[in-house]
Amino acid sequence: MRLVIAGGHGKIALLLTRLAADRGDTVVGLVRNPDHVEDVRARGGDAVVLDLEAAQAEQVAAALAGADAVVFAAGAGPGSGVARKDTVDRAAAELVADGAEIAQVRRFLQVSAMGLDRVTGDAAGDEVFSAYLRAKDAAERDLRTRDLDWTILRPGRLTDDPPTGGVELAESVRGAAVSRADVAAVLLALLDTPDTAGLTLELVGGQVPVEVAVQSAIGPRTRSQ
């Protein structure tokens, strides 16, 4: 499989790069900073320098050409303000989806977030977090309108703990934490499971092995509209 990861220098993206490359997949990370190229290569992938806040859809399509799947794992990150929550977490997600359509790369995984039900509130008075939730919600809504084989993954609170290999994965789960390493493992399993297309799944740590959890999430299933 040839896999392109938008936000290729993020923690989840680097973990996914290692997992996919170790089993023989070709992985290309899209990174904004040229200094990050070597970090991607150190995990077994390659990198293309492309600023998703400034690029055009045709440039993204060129970077995606020949890919079997795309994972959108970009985010403005801690310390960013309201404006960048929109330009990265929403606009860049839509741009990469535009590029996938142009390049005819149908399989598209989007890393979102739990808690989007709070998008109409003020998220306990946190303006930046509210903007983050609104951006993720808008990106999800946009993706659902597209003729792509999309899957949306909503992890819970992210940690840097070692992988456990056990998760809870369903359309709705209780709020809890999950390690970034387990998120990466679930993303890889979703890529290997085409029948998860059209699903929006929430993910937290749990006791069910990743492969079993992914298969269980498929059915009985209702394709999202």
Residue 212 has phi, psi (to 5 degrees) of: -65, -40
Q: Residue 65 domain-assigned?
A: yes
Q: Residue 223 domain-assigned?
A: no
Expressed as residue numbers, the domain containing 8 is 2-218
Give pLDDT, residue 126.
81
Q: Residue 225 domain-assigned?
A: no
Q: Residue 186 domain-assigned?
A: yes
Partners of residue 31 on adjacent β-strands: 49
3-state secondary structure 109-138: EEECCCCHHHCCCCCCCCHHHHHHHHHHHH
Q: Residue 224 domain-assigned?
A: no
The CATH number of the domain holding residue 177 is 3.40.50.720
Contact 111, 72 (CB under 8 A): yes
Q: Residue 175 domain-assigned?
A: yes
Q: Residue 214 domain-assigned?
A: yes
Give pLDDT, residue 224.
42
Contact 8, 41 (CB under 8 A): no
pLDDT, mean of each 10-residue run, the chain (225 residues)? 98 98 98 98 98 98 98 88 93 98 98 80 68 94 98 97 98 96 98 97 98 91 42
Contact 175, 204 (CB under 8 A): yes
Q: Residue 161 domain-assigned?
A: yes
Domain count, the chain: 1
